[in-house]
């Protein structure tokens, strides 16, 4: 049975032993070996959104529920991240800065689809965008090596790929807009 407190304790122990993502990735991989248990433990998602599970200066654990067809612009975290999908799918496009440019433009550099039970780690310098390509909610646990909510980050405009400060309000609005699609007014 999935237990959020056990996950938190195991991740804290792992990050204390090694501040990199390696131990946390192992913990989340064990957790995601039974994605149905995670789904039962956290409950069937009813709406898109981000729910904190744990937050400190050293570690943040959140439950992310992506709306059907939801897409979020390229952004960075400025810390490592470990992602484990327990329901649905999450497609990540990875971006790199264009060499010789002004440092504010990106080009696609790769992609990874995460399905039910998959786990991946993202390095500190990764820029990625996320898409839920399916017609239902997709759910994942995201773990960050720091206080995810306090870190100053960047986002890139989805159309121009120009860098700007990460807009938390705009990001949360994307989740809310996705919910309006789920339950029309």
List the chain residues with pLDDT less than 50. 185
Cβ atoms within 10 Å, residue 47: 13
Q: What is the pLDDT of residue 98?
A: 85
Total tally of structural domains belonging to the chain: 1
Q: What is the pLDDT of residue 182?
A: 63
Cβ atoms within 10 Å, residue 105: 15
Q: Which domain holds residue 97?
A: 4-182
CATH number where 65 lies:
2.60.120.10
Q: What is the pLDDT of residue 103?
A: 55
Q: What is the pLDDT of residue 185?
A: 46
């Amino acid at each position: 049975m999935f237990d959020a407190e056990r996950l938190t304790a195991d991740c804290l122990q792992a990050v204390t032993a090694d501040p990199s993502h390696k131990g946390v990735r192992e913990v989340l991989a064990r957790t995601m070996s039974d994605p149905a248990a995670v789904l039962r433990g956290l409950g069937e998602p009813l709406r898109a959104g981000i729910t904190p599970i744990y937050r400190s200066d050293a570690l943040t654990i959140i439950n992310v529920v992506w709306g059907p067809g939801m897409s979020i612009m390229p952004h960075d975290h400025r810390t490592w991240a470990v992602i484990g999908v327990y329901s649905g799918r999450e497609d990540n496009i990875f971006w790199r800065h264009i060499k010789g440019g002004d440092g504010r433009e990106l080009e696609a550099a790769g992609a990874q689809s995460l399905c039910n039970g998959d786990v991946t780690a993202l390095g500190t310098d990764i820029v990625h965008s996320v898409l839920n390509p399916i017609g239902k909610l997709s759910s994942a646990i995201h773990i960050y090596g720091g206080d995810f909510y306090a870190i100053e980050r960047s986002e890139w405009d989805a159309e121009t790929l120009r860098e700007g400060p990460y807009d938390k309000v705009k990001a949360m609005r994307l989740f809310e807009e996705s919910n309006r699609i789920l339950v029309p007014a």
